[in-house]
Amino acid sequence: MLSSKLFGRWNSISLPRHPLPFKCFKSSLPSTDWNYGKQLSLARASTGLLSERLSSRRCQCAHSSSYRGHICWTRNLLHRKLQTELQLFQGYSQLNRQQTLLLGCRQEGQSSRCDARTTRRNMSLMSSMVDATPSRVQPYLRLMRLDRPTGTWLVYWPCAWGIALAADPGHLPSLYMLGLCGLAALVVRGAACTINDMWDRDFDKAVERTHTRPIASGAISRSQALVFLGGQLSLALGILLNLNPYSITLGCLAVVPMVLYPLAKRFTNWPQIFLGVTTNFSALIGYSAVHGSCDWSIVLPLYVSCIAWTVIYDTIYGHQDKKYDMALGLGSTSILMGDNTKYWLTGFGAAMVSGLMVVGAMAEQSVAYYLTVALTAAHISNQVWTVDIHNPQDCWTKFRSNNRLGAVIFAGIIAGTLAKVSTKDSDSSTKLDKEEEQATSE
């Protein structure tokens, strides 16, 4: 038995550290392996007792002429035997490392493995497509966040809402406009991310979540990013030219806040407001692309609601990096609101829902639309009051849930618009019935 070999009449020696670079628990190893590791740990823990034994023996043999030679001989013998045992254990552990890591672990090991499974499960189709592209192309696709499509959807949904609200009663929104604005959202969001990364290159290097971005990591130089940005803006302009002059003007105006937004965090604690003003220009463009102009009684409350929505989800998103932003001296609503975030976001949620109610009244929406607004209020309330602002993974999960919320509102607007025709038909049939009654009575 290892303990008897170690604790016979041999003297103590400083044992090397545990050779395994990973944590494991008793349930993660077979019983025989666990016993072996337990014995080795016992040997390491007993070094102090052996040192006391050696000190006692040193006192007893202080006047012995053979003391020094005896100690050297026993120390060398013990060292060789322990070295052999440790090499055997290290070799065995290396051969079984992969098997051990696949076994069930408790506490930290289990949570880490669950996080890895969650990450793999959440990997999107777009991310897989980016990984399949040539290595020279991948940095540019990652620069425009093609592997993270959630942000693109959040830019697209306000535009889709505007297109759906502009549809004629009883008709579906234009699929051509939805597709064209979807492509524009992809390109414009990519250009905005390129501008943001060019401004924030030095800041991104200091943040754990962003230090691997192409510009911050050096995979793309600033000159290369500038050329790529020119190509993105040219493509966006080509898409914009397919719309009417009113929408083209709005699209050109949106470029100004898009360029200035990354600077907002340097001089204000409300950069999320600037982000909302920038990204939600798509709601104005979507409505005007169908009607040729904006009905401000509908579009303005929609725009305000979208800005409030942006503040909600981007504040939650910003809690992932708040400690780095504070260290770098950057502003954010996540830092400003702090532990009162839930109360602040409740107010912005009320503003969002109120704006959507005004939109429904101005657009003469039906009951289906208001049911969707009620679901929106429930979702925002649940999102705000259940988020753990100190848990980056939970903040990311709540942030991504807004993608589904955008789809729900879009479906509600379509359902409300389709239901308008039935209401108007019933009103017209009622009028006809009254006219017929009057004609018969005469």
Contacts of 196 (CB under 8 A, 6+ apart): 261, 262
pLDDT value, residue 160 = 96
The C-alpha R_g of the chain, in whole angstroms, comes to 33
Taking the C-alpha atoms of residue 428 and residue 418, their distance in angstroms, rounded to an integer, is 17
pLDDT value, residue 19 = 40
Architecture in CATH of 139-420: Orthogonal Bundle (1.10)
CA angle, residues 350, 353, 356, in degrees to nearest 5: 150
pLDDT value, residue 32 = 38
Report the predicted TM-score, pTM, of the whole model to 2 decimal places.
0.69
pLDDT value, residue 428 = 52
The full set of domain ranges for the chain reads 2-118, 139-420
Count of other CB atoms within 10 angstroms of residue 119 = 10
pLDDT value, residue 439 = 61
**Tens digit of pLDDT per residue, the chain (442 long)?**
444 444 444 444 444 444 433 333 333 333 334 344 444 444 444 444 444 444 444 444 444 444 444 445 555 555 565 555 555 545 444 434 433 333 333 333 343 334 434 444 444 677 788 888 888 999 999 999 988 889 999 999 999 999 999 999 989 999 999 999 999 999 999 999 999 999 988 888 888 888 889 999 889 998 999 999 999 999 999 999 999 999 999 999 998 888 888 889 888 999 999 999 999 999 999 999 999 999 999 999 999 999 999 999 999 999 998 888 888 888 899 999 999 999 999 999 999 999 999 999 999 999 999 999 999 999 999 999 999 999 999 999 999 999 999 999 999 999 999 988 754 455 555 555 566 666 666 5
Taking the C-alpha atoms of residue 116 and residue 11, their distance in angstroms, rounded to an integer, is 46
- Report the Cα 337 to chain-centroid distance in Å: 20
Q: Residue 427 is encoded by which pair of tokens?
A: 């009103």
Q: First-to-last CA distance in the chain?
A: 116
pLDDT value, residue 204 = 86
